[in-house]
C-alpha cells in the first residue's frame, strides 16, 4: 500500500501516477546514480593533481593579482573539462556574459560567425545583433553573422555544412543544449564528429560550444573532442547548487585569455579579478556537482515519464541518453503552463507563496513564466521550470537537488492540471 505524503495537497490519483512513473524508472535511476562515481573520481583527481589545500579558499582583494586560489581553481576546471586552460570568474554575471566575452574577445570586425544549430538561445540574440540596436552588438562592430537551419527533425544539417562554410568563417557556434527549441540536445560524440567535419572543410575555423546545461552529463566535455572554446554558467551544473554567481570559459589558452581581456581589459586579462573569499564555495560546488547533476537527470526522467504517461509529447524520452539536464514537455496551452508553474513554485523551498505570472525578462524575446523558488536566484541546478509564452507552449524544466523534491512537485502539478482539464 502506497503511503501518501501529507504535503503538498495532491489527489491520491496524482500520488499514484508519480509512484507508477518512479517504478517504471528504477533501472534508469540506478544507471544515473552509477555514473556519479567516475565523474567524482575525475573531479577528485583534479583536486589532488593541483594539491588543493585550505589555503586556496582565501582570495586576494583589490586587483586580485597573484591569487593562488583563483589560479588553482582555473587549473582544476581545465583538468575536469579536458581543456588546455580555463578561467573561472565570479565577475561573469551569467553564462551569456561568459559567451559574450568570448565572442567579443576572439572575433574582430569583418570576421564571420556561423551558428550551425539554428537560432541561438534567446539571450544571445541581442549580443549577436539579431534583436535590439544601439547596445554595441557584434553586428554593430562589423561582425557578420549567418546561421544554418536545423533539419525538420531538429538535427544539424550535416549535408549543408559545406555550403554554409563556402565563405571564409572565423568561428562556428554550436549550442549543445536544446535551449528553448524543440530539438534533441547534441551529444559530445556528435559535437566531436561535427568539429572534425568543420575543420576538414575549413582547417582554420574555430569551434565554440555553448556548454550551458551540459557539464558532467557525459564523461567527456566538448573541449576533449576538439572544440576550441566552451563556456557555461556556475549557477548551473558545475556550481553544485551552492555557488552564488559566476561562469567559466575553457579551451585553447590563447582564446581563453582573449575572452578574459574582454571581461577585464587588454593587458590585464586573466591576471585580474578578486574571488571575494568565495573560493571554497566554488571548489565545494564542483565537488558536489556530479551528484547534483545525477539528481537533476533523475528528476528530468521522472518529469518525462509522468507527462508521457499522460499522453503529452516530451523531449527527450524518459531514460534516454542525455547531453543536458533540460526536460521539455509540450502542453500546447498557456493555461496549462500557468498551473504547472504555479504548482512547481508552491513546492519550492524559497518564495513558495508567490504565483508565477507571464513577465518580460532582460534578454528574452517573449514573456516568460518562471517557477524559480531556488536558494540561488536563477540557479537551474536547483529544481526549476520556465516557459516562454509562445506556441507550442512548451515547459522547460531543469535541475533538482534530490529526486524526492521532483516527485512532490509533480504530484501537485498533476492535481492542478487535472483540475484545469479533467482526464
Q: Are residues 146 and 204 in the same domain?
A: yes
Tell me if 47 is assigned to some domain. Answer: no
Task: Tell me: pLDDT of 1 over 90.
Answer: no
DSSP conformation class of 359: B
Tell me if 3 is assigned to some domain. Answer: no
What is the mean pLDDT of the segment spanning 358-370? Answer: 81
Q: Are residues 278 and 295 in the same domain?
A: no
Q: Are residues 316 and 249 in the same domain?
A: no
Which residues, in sequence order, are bridge partners of residue 318? none
Task: Tell me: pLDDT of 207 over 70.
Answer: yes
Kindly report the pTM of this predicted structure. 0.95
Determine if residue 275 is left, alpha or beta; phi over 0 gives left, psi from -120 to 50 gives alpha, anything else beta. Answer: alpha
Q: Are residues 31 and 72 in the same domain?
A: no
Query: Domain of 224?
Result: 52-286
274-332 confidence digits (pLDDT tens)? 999 999 999 999 999 999 999 999 999 999 999 999 999 999 999 999 999 999 999 99
Considering 286, 307, 336, which residue would you say is the last residue of a domain? 286
Task: Tell me the residue ranges of DSSP E strands in 289-400.
Answer: 313-315, 327-330, 368-371, 384-388, 394-398
- CA 376, CA 384: separation in Å to the nearest integer? 11
Q: Are residues 214 and 129 in the same domain?
A: yes
Q: Are residues 72 and 178 in the same domain?
A: yes
What's the Rg (C-alpha) of the chain?
21
Nine cell digits for residue 252: 585553447
Tell me if 393 is assigned to some domain. Answer: yes
**278: closest CA among 234, 233, 214?**
234
- CA 190, CA 225: separation in Å to the nearest integer? 10
CATH of the domain at 324: 3.90.1150.60
Tell me if 4 is assigned to some domain. Answer: no
Tell me if 7 is assigned to some domain. Answer: no
148-200 confidence digits (pLDDT tens)? 999 999 999 999 999 999 999 999 999 999 988 899 999 999 999 999 999 99
Q: Are residues 229 and 337 in the same domain?
A: no
Count of domains observed in the chain:
2
Distances (CA, A) of 208 to 4, 172, 250: 48, 6, 10
Q: pLDDT grade, residue 61 (50/70/90)?
A: very high
pLDDT at 185: 95
CATH of the domain at 110: 3.40.640.10
What is the mean pLDDT of the segment spanning 377-385? Answer: 91
Q: Are residues 307 and 280 in the same domain?
A: no
Amino acid at each position: 500500500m502506497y503511503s501518501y505524503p501529507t504535503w503538498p495537497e495532491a489527489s491520491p490519483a496524482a500520488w499514484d501516477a508519480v509512484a507508477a512513473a518512479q517504478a517504471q524508472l528504477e533501472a534508469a535511476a540506478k544507471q544515473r546514480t552509477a555514473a556519479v562515481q567516475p565523474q567524482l573520481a575525475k573531479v577528485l583527481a583534479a583536486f589532488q593533481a593541483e594539491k588543493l589545500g585550505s589555503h586556496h579558499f582565501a582570495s586576494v582583494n583589490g586587483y586580485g593579482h597573484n591569487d593562488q586560489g583563483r589560479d588553482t581553481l582555473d587549473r582544476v576546471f581545465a583538468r575536469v573539462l579536458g581543456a588546455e586552460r580555463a578561467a573561472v570568474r565570479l565577475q561573469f554575471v551569467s553564462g551569456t556574459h561568459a559567451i559574450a566575452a568570448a565572442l567579443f574577445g576572439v572575433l574582430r570586425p569583418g570576421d564571420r560567425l556561423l551558428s550551425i544549430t539554428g537560432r541561438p538561445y534567446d539571450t544571445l540574440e541581442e549580443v549577436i545583433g539579431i534583436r535590439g540596436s544601439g547596445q554595441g552588438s557584434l553586428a554593430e562592430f562589423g561582425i557578420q553573422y549567418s546561421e544554418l537551419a536545423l533539419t525538420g527533425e531538429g538535427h544539424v544539417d550535416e549535408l549543408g555544412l559545406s555550403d554554409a562554410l563556402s565563405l571564409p568563417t572565423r568561428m562556428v557556434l554550436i549550442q549543445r543544449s536544446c535551449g528553448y527549441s524543440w530539438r534533441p540536445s547534441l551529444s559530445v560524440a556528435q559535437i566531436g564528429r561535427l568539429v572534425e567535419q568543420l575543420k576538414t572543410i575549413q582547417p582554420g575555423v574555430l569551434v565554440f560550444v555553448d556548454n550551458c546545461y551540459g557539464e558532467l552529463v557525459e564523461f567527456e566535455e566538448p573541449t576533449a573532442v576538439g572544440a576550441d572554446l566552451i563556456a557555461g554558467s556556475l549557477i548551473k551544473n558545475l556550481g553544485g547548487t551552492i555557488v552564488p554567481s559566476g561562469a567559466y570559459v575553457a579551451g585553447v589558452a590563447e582564446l581563453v585569455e582573449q575572452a578574459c581581456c574582454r571581461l577585464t581589459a587588454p593587458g590585464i586579462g586573466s591576471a585580474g579579478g578578486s574571488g571575494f573569499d568565495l573560493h571554497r564555495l566554488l571548489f565545494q560546488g564542483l565537488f558536489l556537482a556530479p551528484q547534483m547533476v545525477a539528481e537533476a537527470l533523475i528528476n528530468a526522467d521522472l518529469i518525462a515519464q509522468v507527462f508521457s504517461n499522460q499522453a503529452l509529447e516530451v523531449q527527450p524520452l524518459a531514460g534516454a541518453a542525455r547531453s543536458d539536464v533540460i526536460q521539455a514537455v509540450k502542453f500546447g496551452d498557456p493555461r496549462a503552463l500557468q498551473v504547472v508553474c504555479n504548482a512547481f513554485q508552491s513546492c519550492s523551498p524559497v518564495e513558495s507563496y508567490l504565483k508565477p505570472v507571464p513577465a518580460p525578462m532582460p534578454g528574452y524575446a517573449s514573456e516568460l513564466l518562471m517557477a524559480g523558488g531556488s536558494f540561488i536566484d536563477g540557479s537551474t541546478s536547483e529544481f526549476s521550470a520556465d516557459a516562454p509564452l509562445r506556441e507550442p507552449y512548451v515547459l522547460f524544466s531543469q535541475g533538482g537537488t534530490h529526486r524526492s523534491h521532483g516527485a512532490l512537485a509533480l504530484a501537485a502539478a498533476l492535481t492542478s492540471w487535472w483540475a484545469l482539464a479533467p482526464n
